[in-house]
Amino acid sequence: MSNKKNTKSQQYLLHVCFESRIIFEHNVYFNYYGIDFKLIKGTKKYQDVLCCIFDISSSSGPEFDKVRKRVEVIAFEFLSCLSWELKTGIVYCPAGGRGWSQEHGGLSSVTRKACTSMPRQMSRHIKGISIVGLPKIGHDKYKAHALSLFREAKSSNSTYYRFLCYWKILEIHNFKGGKSMDWINETIKHNIWILKHAHFNRQLLKNKKISTYLKDECRHAIAHVMPRYKLKPDSGESLFKIYTANIIMEYLVDIFIKKELGLAFTEDNKDNYLYLRKKKGKAIPVFIPYKNCKGPCF
């Protein structure tokens, strides 16, 4: 976009506040799907900030809304992919943005003071984490949807809401032409260790299949809190029941995302991952497919 002499701001600084239980090692610059980002590591008091600068002709109107929405979607998908990669919950909040004149400089000039700072809610436990790679979701809506629900589940303090997120992930199988109920039964059949690891009392099944139990006794009971389902939200028995079911669901979701959505990273299948590739000089590192990563990566 050409510069106009009388225009004070032809750029826009968009920032998203987020947090997890991770302490990032340092600020990170990277290009993700064609957009340069800066991740400003959080402090004990304030959340992390993910920000980017994009060109605009006006900070309002349909065209601006279209560009902002596209950038936000890419930023949110990055955080969902990061949640899956680090196996931790990430809570984010769109913090808005501001006009950013070119005289202010590029991303290196953006500091926490230039962005809206949100107070931290979660305590941190894991330190010194670096961002190395991310799952490659491309334009696959099923992968994007699954990872966003995974991030929601891992972020939630609610046992009940977490189960519903996991259940919705497995329901993606229905939209891909399969039957999620059959998939659950077959997967448990070939991975009976899941029930053992969850310390699940198989007598609870009676004559039901595991998928029917999870649907009727857990999914429906949570979504339709009615007397006939016998699930009281403030009951210790109910909490333990869904807590155990969540352990089963976590294993199932992990298998589903890796196998059915193809996001398992193995020696034989590395093309489904992006790696942060270093570039010469001060150029911003870029996430590229593993098969193209012939030079040094982080």
CB 152 within 8 A of CB 211: no
What is the chain's pLDDT, residue by residue, as a tens digit (298 residues)? Answer: 334 444 454 899 999 999 998 888 889 999 999 999 999 998 888 899 999 999 887 777 888 889 889 999 999 999 999 999 999 999 998 778 888 888 888 899 998 888 888 888 877 667 767 888 899 998 899 999 999 999 999 999 999 999 999 999 999 999 989 999 999 999 999 999 999 999 999 999 989 999 999 999 999 988 886 666 677 777 888 899 999 999 999 999 999 999 999 998 776 667 789 999 887 778 899 998 876 665 544 4
Gap between the Cα atoms of 120 and 42, Å rounded: 9
Gap between the Cα atoms of 190 and 239, Å rounded: 28
Gap between the Cα atoms of 162 and 237, Å rounded: 17
